[in-house]
Structure 1
Amino acid sequence: MAAAVNTGRERWVLGVDSGGSGLRVALADPARPVPAAGLRRSREPVRTGPAGIDAGHLLEQLLPMARSLLADAGGGALASVAIGAAGMATLGDGLRAELPGALRDALGVRRLALAADAVTAYAGALGQRPGAVVAAGTGMVATGTDLRGWRRADGWGHLLGDCGGGAWIGRAGLEAALRAHDGRRGGSAALLTAAEALLGPAEGLPGRVYPRTDRPAVLASFAPEVARCAAAGDGVSAGILRLAAGHIAEAAAAVCPPAGADGAAPEVALTGGLFHTGEPLLVPLRAELAAQLPSARLTPAAGDPLAGAVLIASALAGGSLVLPSHPTLLHVPAEQGR
């Protein structure tokens, strides 16, 4: 790997968001921590294997995009890089071992932060303020901090948790569809019609769902249909979304810090594609949050996980990072020399 040559002052920061839909990379001015100086993306998710997230595969995608962004921006060096990755907390040992040296050699990077995607989602939504953030799409995880440490709830995947997330809602909706097909209690004819329109005849659903390597995404693809049926008056669908709202609020309550010494209400933000399903989920969720976190204040998310990665990189470059470090959730290696 060729060594980078620093031909200009450190005028940029780089934010990286690696998830199930691929890799997104943004260049920004650290004085204005939004991904505005350029954006590149790959639709190919970074591979994982027995050793965890594949650092080599991430670098194969990241380095050409970073060099292209720097060239388009007129050159200059990177003040810092922040990488947020799905699976970083449990599958990130290889990234933490390999990326600091590889990015120093390839791009001259001295300041680096390696974060779980839940942390970059938090930073994108609330910045560096204390509070709680629920990130929900296919899965669901809640993260909270009082700026002294982190708390995390759920995010255990579609077999063991992610309760209230897209895959959870979709699976519950498909179960209700199959109950209707069988004539069992708890079934929904509306959901059966929707399931067969989306996924084919009910008798073949197990064969079309179980073998799929992207099974969580397949299940989550049915969540919008559950919301649509709920909006059309289907009581079973509405009940599924009420249960999902309860699970999401429970996770938020588990991680939310108490009110500050000044009595300020802690903030809670929601981020992720699941909340685009709209009012059929948001109405019961607001009610559950009011019941379970009566002292908290629901706040609109300011940005997404890529914006959070850029914000962390900018704070790291300026020496103003106050989000707490953590061995797996937010790892900041010691600054490396040239």
Structure 2
Amino acid sequence: MSTAAWVLGVDSGGSGLRIALATAGVEGGVTEGGVTQGGVRLVDSVVFGEPVRTGAGGIDAGHLLQRLVPAAEGLLGRAGADRLAAVAVGAAGMATLGGDLRATLPGALRRSLGVGRLALAADAVTAYAGALGQRPGAVVAAGTGLIALGTDLSGWRRADGWGHLLGDCGSGAWIGRAGLEAAMRAHDGRRGGSAALLARAEAVFGPPATLPGQLYPRADRPAVLASFAPEVARCGAAGDPVSVGILARAAGHIAEAAAAVCPPGEDLEVALTGGLFKMGDPLLLPLRAELAEHLPYARTVPAVGDPLDGALVVAAALAADTLRLPREPGMLDTTTPQPTDRT
């Protein structure tokens, strides 16, 4: 693009919905003034605390549109912008639950906002774009759950992200569950228990015998499990050997996922993004050692931005016809104007 254009980024996940308006085509790299990868400058944003509904048909496109269209119109009006060059929507569950979005959003956004260029991406893809931009490498996104995504720009490689029952190994839910298991072992007098973790479990949840009733009926069980992960980190920092061992195993799982998706090559980048890595040294120190062992040819780098930043990066690249990230059904789907379109 020879001049700056208006783009919209959307990040829809379990914690809510975020929508951001930015200008693309801004000269420069990452600066304190808000210019991110690809010359994208954030202008304004809207946050909804409640997540978009999902049902038997997957992510509810109608519910998303009820929020997205008025919010976009408000952002454009406040900025004095005339039209959007492109929109990118990153959503949790896009690969498996995004059928309604893919069928509905292109036509609906064309009619309501005049948008002809649209990207629909899995949230792991926007996390990747936010962390590394459009460079080859690998990203591990970890919070309550965990997924690793890598690319050599010809296709995507994915590892884990299978949920707390089948995977998400090394995630917050995994660490929290392992910590609570160790607490219950100590409560029973079995081997492998931790008195320190038992004390923290009692402080957080009350009598140990009540834990099954507090966990099993909950629809948000992974988040409840993950809420105990910081307690494991605190006990590990205080020298509890069981907690140290849990965090070491988590670090091994994370490094294995990164190694599974990182493309071959020299001096590739691996970025870590998500709330799990805010736990600090109790997790990061063993993780650095594991990454050095599993990926000696790669460099661990900080994530430049988050999934909302990534959605803006994708939207800007789509607007400029410079999108290099692989288009793949369920991972990154795009629509662009046909030659007869006026948008």
Q: TM-score range by the shorter chain?
A: over 0.9
Preserved contact between residue 96 and residue 114 of structure 1 (Cα < 8 Å): yes
Q: Aligned AA for 1:20?
A: G
Deviations 1:92-124 (A, max 9, x none): 111111000010011000000000000000000
Q: After superposition, give the CA deviation of every residue in 1:209-260 in whole Å (9 maximum; x if it has no partner).
A: 111111110000000110011001111001000000000100000000111x
Alignment RMSD, CA only?
1.2
Which of 279, 282, 291 is the matching residue for 1:280? 282
Match of 2:232 among 226, 229, 233: 226
2:205 alignment partner in structure 1: 199
* Match of residue 120 from structure 1: 126
Q: Contact conserved, 1:89 with 1:116, CA < 8 A, in 2?
A: yes
Structure 1 counterpart of 2:282, one-letter code: P
Matched, 1:15 2:9: yes
Distance 1:234 1:37, change over 3 A: same
TM-score (ref. length: structure 1): 0.95
Alignment of 1:213 onto 2:219: yes
Q: Which runs of 5+ in 1 are unaligned?
A: 1-8
CA distance in 2, matches of 1:238, 1:71: 52
**Which residue identity is paired with 1:320?**
T
Matches within 5 A, 1:2-151: 11-32=5-26, 33-34=39-40, 36-151=42-157
What are the superposed Cα offsets for residues 36-81 of structure 1, whole Å, 9 maximum, x if unpaired? 2101000010111111111011111111111111011013100000
Is 1:332 the counterpart of 2:326? The answer is no
CA distance in structure 1 between the partners assigned to 2:53 and 2:193 by the alignment: 39
Q: Distance in 1 between matches of 2:278 and 2:4?
A: 38
Question: What is the distance in 1 between the residues matched to 2:295 and 2:55?
Answer: 39
Structure 1 residues 242 and 211, CA, compared in 2 at 3 Å: closer, same or farther? same
Distance in 2 of aligned mates of 1:75 and 1:312: 20
Aligned residue for 1:179?
Answer: 185
Cα distance in structure 2, aligned partners of 1:276 and 1:229 = 16
Q: Which amino acid aligns with 1:272?
A: G
- Would you say 1:265 and 2:267 are equivalent positions? yes
Counterpart position of 2:35: none
Q: Deviations over 1:135-156 (max 9, x none)?
A: 0000000000000000000000
TM-score, normalised with respect to structure 2 = 0.93
Match of 1:158 among 151, 161, 164: 164
CA displacement at 1:35 relative to structure 2: 5.4
Q: Kindly tell me the number of residue pairs found equivalent between the two proteins.
A: 326
Q: Tell me how far apart the structure 1 counterparts of residues 117 and 154 of structure 2 sit (CA, whole Å).
A: 21
Contact 2:136 2:269 in 1 (8 A): yes
- Quote how far apart the aligned CAs of 1:200 are: 1.5
**In the aligned structure 1, how far is the partner of 2:25 from the partner of 2:303?**
21
Secondary structure in 2 aligned to 1:36? Answer: strand
Judge conservation of contact 1:12–1:80 (CA < 8 Å) in 2: yes
